[in-house]
Every structure is written in structure tokens, then in C-alpha cells.
Amino acid sequence: MTRTAQYDLAVIGAGIIGAATALYLVEAGKRVALIDAKGLAMEASFGNAGALAFAEILPMAAPGLTRRALKWFIDPLGPLSIPPAYAPRIAPWLLRLLRAGRADRYQAGIEAQSRMMTLAGSEMDALLARTGLADMVHHDGALELYETRQAFEASMAGARQREAHGIALRHVQGEELAALQPGLAKRFAYGTFLPGWRTVSDPHVLARSIGEAALAHGAVFLKDRVTHIATRDGGVAVTLRDGQSVQAAQIVVAAGAWSHQLARQMGDRIPLETERGYNTTLPSGAFDVRRQLTFGEHGFVVTPLDCGLRIGGAVELGGLQRPPDFRRAQAMLQKAQAFLPGLNAAGGTQWMGFRPSLPDTLPVIGHSTRHPAVIYAFGHGHLGLTQSAATARIVRDLVLGRPPAIPIEAYRPDRFQLL
């Protein structure tokens, strides 16, 4: 017999976005069910690079992307790849990506991302303070590295955009570069240091701890898969795989790379794609990395975490069904060995996760176009951890009928109908 449980809110997805949203809502006095098939922070929030990347305001869709992308696509193990069999399916998404890179839309995307990042920084500080998790954050900055003057000079347009939005940075060479990261290969002659960049000691532990804080405040965790959602008078019915029915006045869809499938049940077609990210986590002590290192020309970062040294990144636009191609993780590891001479590459653990990505690099946050009781909060790409507290704040504002903390027109679910 079908069982029914009733809540004020059902949050679908217990990654960092869903966990933070559930916490904000229970803090506001709401009865919340947090639903996930795998557990707290077991998908993209489990193995990400651990950055609080508040300086990352530049959209992936940028002028000149077509030229760079064609070069990358030639290398199946390069920074950006699409399996040939998947190319026809992703073609409409790629067209939207290229359109979003037009100069006016690119600039509008920077402005929208900058507003989100400003809110994200203040909200994350407040969230970590009230949950007692602030000591999990390292304030070591990040170092972006370039092999040639040409590549370094090509980064200047983005640097000027960052500086115009109040982001501190410093270009470094020679002894200053070597002091920021000793042991770096001599081929890297140029760098940009971002002193305000932060990393967390372990992204999975942080995300899980935020979810546990939500449960400690009264949220109920349901470990099950959502099979169907339907609006009814007075709310939304969520059907789970085990036959249980969850009735809520409102729901929040924060299911990461699977969110568009649920949105489609509500009649909203949102062009979300899956960036499949790969990494290898080496044992602590593999190399003395002082802060997160970004090898932008090669599409990966190296991050020192409590759980080890994580080498990962790259973008494989390949959907949810294809098996992992761990040659990509191995290729990044081999490059890291060349870039950090003496790196001990033994004993690593490989991982692949699904990043939910939208063509303009901005998330979807807002009410369903057809069902006001449904709120979307997904599509953060590489920036879910970074923007989690800001997203939770905006969702809480919507639930409570308050004006959002920042304008959210740029994140509206129906914006792609205009592209």
C-alpha cells in the first residue's frame, strides 16, 4: 500500500546545492524532506576540485571559443572533448553555447556571474560560521600558470574583467613565481596569483557536513530515487521508487545532472548537458603543492586536500549513459608529472563525476514556468560548491515570498527560449 508523508518542502537532490538549500529552509522553520538515491553528497559533490572559486566570473562561452574548441576537439584526451557518437545529440546545446559567446551576451553573463559570486562569498562565510565549519576553508589563493608569453597575454582580457569587478590578482614571474610554487617545471614562466581564492580541506566532507546540519535542524532524509512528480491542488506529489508518496506544498529540484529530466515532467525543456569531469587523487605527500594550481591551457587543476593531492578537470560532453573513459584521468596525471617534476604518481584513486552544465555557464534558479510550486536550482557546472550558499539564499527568499537577495532575471528557467 502506498504511504504518504507530508512536508512544506521536498528538496530533490542531496548534493551541495540541495544540502545547503535544505539547511536554509529548515532554519526558516520549514518542514523539509531531502531526497537522494545515493546519499548525502555522493555525486559531483563527492569528488570535485574543492575550490571556492569566487573569482571565476568568466563564462565558458566566450568570443573566440569556436577557434579554440576546434583545436581541442582534435585531441580526444584534451581539455574539451565530445565522443563522436554523441555529437549529433549535443549539437543544439553547442549552438546555444556559441550564441552565448557573442560579445553582448558574454558581457551580460559576466555581470550576472559577478553578482552571484558577490552573494556567494558573503553567504558562504555566514553559512560556515553558523555551522562551525569555517576551519575547513584554506585561504591560500590560487596560481594560474602559463607556458608562453602568447598564452599569458591572451589571458589579459579576462584579468581586466576580473579587476573591473573588484577581484584582486597579481601577475608573477621569476623568483616570485617560484616562491609561490617551488619545484614547478621551468617551462612555466608566467603566472597570475589570485589571493582571494579559497579551497576546502575536503569537498565531500564539507558537503556532507552541511547536509548533516540540515538533518540536525529537523530535515528528514529519504534515500530513494524520485520516479515522478506531479502538481496537485495545494502542492506537489513526489513518487519514489519504493512506492512512497511525498506530498509537499513546494518542491525544489536540485538534482544536478539529472534535473532536466524532472523539469521535463513539469513541461519545462531546459538545455542541460553533462560535463563529465575526471580526476586522480594521490596520497598526501605526493608533492608539496602550496595552493591550487591551474594549468588552463591543459584544462586541469591540482589541489592539495586533506584526503590527498587531487589532479583533475577537463570537460567531456558525453551525457549520463556512456561508461567512463579513465584515459582522460591518466592523461592529466601524466601531464602533472611533467609539470611538477618529482611528483609521485603511485597509489592514486580515479574518479569520474557528472557536472550539470548550461550553455551560458549560469545556473537555473527560479519557479517553473508552468507550476509555481516547483522551484529549480541546478545547472551550476563547475561552480556548485562555490555558489551553493547563494543559491540556497535565493531559494529561501522565493519560498518565503521575499524579494531575492540579487536580481535573478539572468537565471530564469525560460531564458533559453530567447536564444
In a domain, 112, yes or no: no
> Is the domain of 138 the same as that of 245?
no
Verify that 143 and 243 share a domain, yes or no: no
Based on the fold, state whether residues 264 and 303 are members of the same structural domain. Answer: no
Given the C-alpha cell 528538496, which residue does it identify? 11
Does one domain contain both 218 and 164? no
pLDDT at 247: 95
pLDDT at 73: 63
The domain containing residue 260 runs over which residues?
Answer: 4-46+205-269+361-418
Residue 9, CA distances (Å) to 40, 231, 388 in order: 17, 13, 18
Domain end, chosen from 331, 357, 383, is at: 357
- State the CATH number of the domain containing residue 36: 3.50.50.60
Predicted pLDDT of residue 192: 98
- Span 347-385, pLDDT tens digits: 999 999 999 999 999 999 999 999 999 999 999 999 999
pLDDT on residue 78: 75
Do 260 and 153 belong to one domain? Answer: no
Q: Which of 357, 385, 402 marks a domain boundary?
A: 357
Q: Do 399 and 264 share a domain, yes or no? A: yes
* 86 and 143 part of one domain: yes
d(CA 219, CA 95): 41
- Asked if 172 and 302 sit in the same domain, the reply is yes
The cell numbers describing 119, all together, are 552573494
Query: Do both 388 and 295 map to the same domain?
Result: no
Please enumerate in sequence order all residues whose Cβ is within 8 A of that of 217, keeping only pairs 6 or more positions apart, or say none: 23, 26, 27
* pLDDT tens for each residue of the chain, 419 residues long: 356 679 999 999 999 999 999 999 999 999 999 999 999 999 999 999 999 999 999 998 877 766 666 666 667 677 788 888 898 999 999 889 988 888 889 999 999 999 999 999 999 999 999 999 999 999 999 999 999 999 999 999 999 999 999 999 999 999 999 999 999 999 999 999 999 999 999 999 999 999 999 999 999 999 999 999 999 887 999 999 998 899 999 999 999 999 999 999 999 999 999 999 999 999 999 999 999 999 998 999 999 999 999 999 988 999 999 999 999 999 999 999 999 999 999 999 999 999 999 999 999 999 999 999 999 999 999 999 999 999 999 999 999 999 999 999 999 999 987 54
What's the confidence (pLDDT) of residue 1? 38
Cell of 91: 549539437
pTM of the prediction? 0.95
225-253 tens-digit pLDDT: 999 999 988 799 999 999 889 999 999 99
Pick from 125, 1, 27: nearest CA to 389 = 125
Confirm whether 401 is domain-assigned: yes
What's the chain's average pLDDT? 94
Quote the CA–CA distance of 370 and 210 in Å, as a whole number: 31
Residue 210: closest CA among 137, 112, 145, 132: 132
Give the residue from 340, 357, 374 where a domain finishes: 357
Is residue 52 in some structural domain?
no
Are residues 180 and 328 located together in one domain of the fold? Answer: yes
Task: Give the chain's domain count.
Answer: 2
186 and 83 in a common domain: yes
